């Protein structure tokens, strides 16, 4: 099975910016703030685009060809990729750990990472809490001010990469265009929505809140196609997923080794080629290299992000 492209599922939240529409050439007046490129999660499943499996939903492909797609692990999905573009700050959220997600939501843990494609001057993310006082956080959540009072603001710019563990208080900031790479789950508990009036999930949110993480970004800088090739490991050894960011001035060779790869083109453009086929990735686009693909080559120049679950 060769590299697979998917039909993107576009979503139009109330905070959507216009950069997804512009980058993907989407016509019409509706602005899309989210674009799921690779997902097997219920309600967000993407379908194969082109080739012998054209139109097949990814969850169905995994069920019918599990070892070819996933490898020998018993995972029921792959790392998810979605574009995000917000003209307003997104709700302040937390995601549950595996045990809580399984018991209460029939879901998996969600950890995530963001790679910033573009950011307006002065843009920030909320990544962690300014206080460890849970009672103070509860009081602020009660009047929808937890983000303003206790959100830990982290400045970001193009080329920044940050990992947000499950349980971490976080919010995606206004003026940022990025790719989110997530683990198998997608349950979200809102603790603050900046007065927009949408449903909050305060009790469950505080069940899973972890005030310890204070994540900071890795500053990779803008991609320079004339610079030497390099690989940066974006995740720690105890993270749920493995994410590498590669600068590829010419070619980069890899072998799946019984583990799939989800690849995202973070800058430039590239071809991804294995013995069973080749696909093209433009800026922001993602693909799945199945576990059965074996040896494959990325031909740039590009900055490519490779992700998979850790086993």
- Asked if residue 172 lies in contact with residue 89, where contact means CB atoms within 8 angstroms, the answer is yes
Mean pLDDT throughout 210-230? 97
Rounded Cα–Cα distance for residues 276 and 1 (Å):
6
What are the backbone dihedrals phi and psi of residue 25, each rounded to the nearest 5 degrees, phi first? Answer: 65, 40
| The CATH fold of domain 230-309 | Jelly Rolls (2.60.120)
Statement: residue 155 has pLDDT above 90: yes
Q: Tens of pLDDT along 89-143?
A: 999 999 999 999 999 999 999 999 999 999 999 999 999 999 999 999 999 999 8
Q: Where are the domains of the chain?
A: 6-219, 230-309
Rounded Cα–Cα distance for residues 156 and 287 (Å):
26
Which residue is it, tokens 């069973």?
276
Rounded Cα–Cα distance for residues 275 and 277 (Å):
6
| pLDDT at residue number 185 | 95
Mean pLDDT throughout 11-17? 95
Output the CA–CA distances (angstroms, integers) from residue 262 to 108, 151, 212, in the order listed. Answer: 18, 31, 29
| pLDDT at residue number 45 | 97
Got the DSSP string for 53-78?
TTT-BHHHHHHHSHHHHTBSS--SS-
Binding-site positions: 95, 112, 170
| pLDDT at residue number 311 | 81
Annotated catalytic sites, by residue?
190
pTM: 0.96
> Quick one: pLDDT band at residue 168, thresholds 50, 70, 90?
very high
Rounded Cα–Cα distance for residues 76 and 42 (Å):
11
Asked if 6-219 and 230-309 have one fold, the answer is: yes
Higher per-residue pLDDT: 37 or 43: 37
- Asked if residue 121 lies in contact with residue 52, where contact means CB atoms within 8 angstroms, the answer is no
Mean pLDDT throughout 158-168? 98
> Quick one: pLDDT band at residue 236, thresholds 50, 70, 90?
confident
| pLDDT at residue number 195 | 84
Residues in Cβ contact with 43 at an 8 Å cutoff, skipping those fewer than 6 apart = none
| pLDDT at residue number 237 | 86
Binding-site positions for Zn(2+): 95, 112, 170
Q: What is the mean pLDDT of the chain?
A: 96
CATH superfamily ID and name for 6-219: Jelly Rolls (2.60.120.10)
């Amino acid at each position: 099975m060769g590299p697979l492209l998917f039909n993107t599922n576009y979503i139009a939240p109330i905070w959507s910016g216009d950069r997804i529409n512009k980058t993907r050439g989407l016509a019409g007046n509706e602005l899309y703030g989210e674009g799921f490129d690779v997902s097997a999660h219920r309600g967000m499943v993407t379908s194969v685009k082109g080739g012998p499996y054209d139109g097949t939903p990814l969850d169905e492909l995994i069920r019918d060809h599990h070892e070819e797609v996933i490898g020998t692990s018993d995972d029921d999905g792959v790392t998810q990729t979605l574009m995000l573009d917000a003209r307003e700050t997104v709700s302040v959220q937390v995601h549950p750990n595996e045990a809580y997600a399984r018991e209460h939501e029939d879901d998996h843990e969600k950890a995530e990472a963001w790679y910033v494609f573009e950011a307006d001057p002065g843009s920030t993310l909320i990544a962690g809490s300014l206080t460890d006082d849970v009672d103070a956080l509860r009081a602020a959540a009660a009047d929808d001010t937890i983000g303003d009072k206790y959100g830990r603001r982290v400045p970001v710019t193009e080329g920044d990469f940050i990992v947000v563990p499950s349980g971490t208080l976080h919010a995606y900031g206004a003026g940022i265009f990025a790719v989110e790479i997530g683990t198998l789950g997608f349950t979200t508990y809102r603790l603050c929505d900046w007065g927009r009036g949408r449903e909050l999930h305060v009790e469950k949110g505080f069940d899973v809140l972890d005030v310890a993480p204070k994540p900071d970004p890795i500053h990779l800088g803008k991609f320079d196609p004339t610079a030497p090739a390099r690989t940066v490991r974006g995740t720690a050894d105890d993270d749920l997923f493995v994410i590498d960011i590669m600068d590829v001035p010419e070619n980069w060779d890899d072998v799946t080794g019984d583990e799939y790869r989800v690849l995202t083109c973070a800058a430039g453009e590239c071809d991804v080629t294995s013995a069973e086929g080749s696909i093209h990735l433009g800026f922001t686009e993602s693909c799945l290299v199945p576990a059965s693909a074996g040896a494959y080559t990325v031909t740039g120049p590009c900055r490519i992000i490779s992700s998979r679950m850790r086993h």
